Structure 1
Amino acid sequence: MRILADANVPAEYVAALRGDGHEVRYSRDVAAIGPEAPDDTLVEFAETEDFAILSTDVKDFAEVDATAPVFVAPQGMTGGAVRTAVARIEAMEFDPAETEPLWLSSL
């Protein structure tokens, strides 16, 4: 899975997902976005480039309207818990882009 990590996502989450073979890029490292990009710019990039969005920003991403999958991982999760939640999503028979943002802590 291709995942665009919001600037506030802990390195532990990114490392865990990369360890499972996911292509994870921080939004701050994408020249087309930049380190201080607003959330709508992240959503537009993710939709255009076929990325899911990973954020810990509960307030801004909990209600986002996007065609890209949005995964919200609260700061208290471990990298292993994030990895497990994403693996569960991949095993489900639905398109996560067609749902509301998914709270990884509930999986």
Structure 2
Amino acid sequence: MRLLADVHVKSAYLSALRADGHKMTRVVDTLEPTASDSDIVDHARELDAIVLTNDAKDFTRFEGHPGIVIVPQTGTSAGEVAAAVSRIERLVPDLTGQVLYATDWV
């Protein structure tokens, strides 16, 4: 799965997801530091990537997004997050417009 990781997603999560074979792009590597949430969603569309974020409040308001996976800031290990994302990839063929919480898939 191709993922676009928002600014505050833990680096341990990113490492575990990469190790699981997911293609990771970090917002901080491809957009300006002042990029808005709207810019991030637009960039995810360009990349055909799912947005990976811990910011449920801001990102769930967008329509027509390629998919959003909300990850927790605490309480879930990097391995659990990677396993959850892999389950989502396997069981949800099209994430377009969907918002899924990784903790529901642990």
Question: Under a length normalisation based on structure 1, what TM-score does the superposition of the two structures give?
Answer: 0.89
User: Structure 2 matches for 1:38-57, cutoff 5 A?
Assistant: 38-57=36-55
Which of residues 29, 34, 37 is equivalent to 2:35?
A: 37
User: Separation in 1 of the partners of 2:39 and 2:100?
Assistant: 20
Runs of 5+ in structure 1 lacking a partner? none
Q: Percent identity?
A: 35
Task: Give every structure 1 segment of 4 or more consecutive aligned residues whose post-TM-superposition deviation is greater than 3 Å.
Answer: none
Report the secondary structure of 1:53's partner residue. strand
Query: Which deviates more, 55-64 or 10-19?
Result: 55-64
Runs of 5+ in structure 2 lacking a partner? none
User: Structure 2 matches for 1:64-83, cutoff 5 A?
Assistant: 64-76=62-74, 77-83=76-82
Report the secondary structure of 2:69's partner residue. strand
Q: Quote the offset at 1:63 in angstroms.
A: 3.2
Q: Quote the offset at 1:93 in angstroms.
A: 4.6
Which position in structure 2 is the counterpart of 1:20? 20
User: Separation in 1 of the partners of 2:52 and 2:3?
Assistant: 7
Amino acid corresponding to residue 91 of structure 1 in structure 2: R
Q: Quote the offset at 1:19 in angstroms.
A: 0.3
CA-to-aligned-CA distance 1:55-98 (integer Å, 9 cap, x gap): 01122123332331100001122211110111111111531114
Question: Under a length normalisation based on structure 2, what TM-score does the superposition of the two structures give?
Answer: 0.89
Amino acid corresponding to residue 80 of structure 2 in structure 1: A
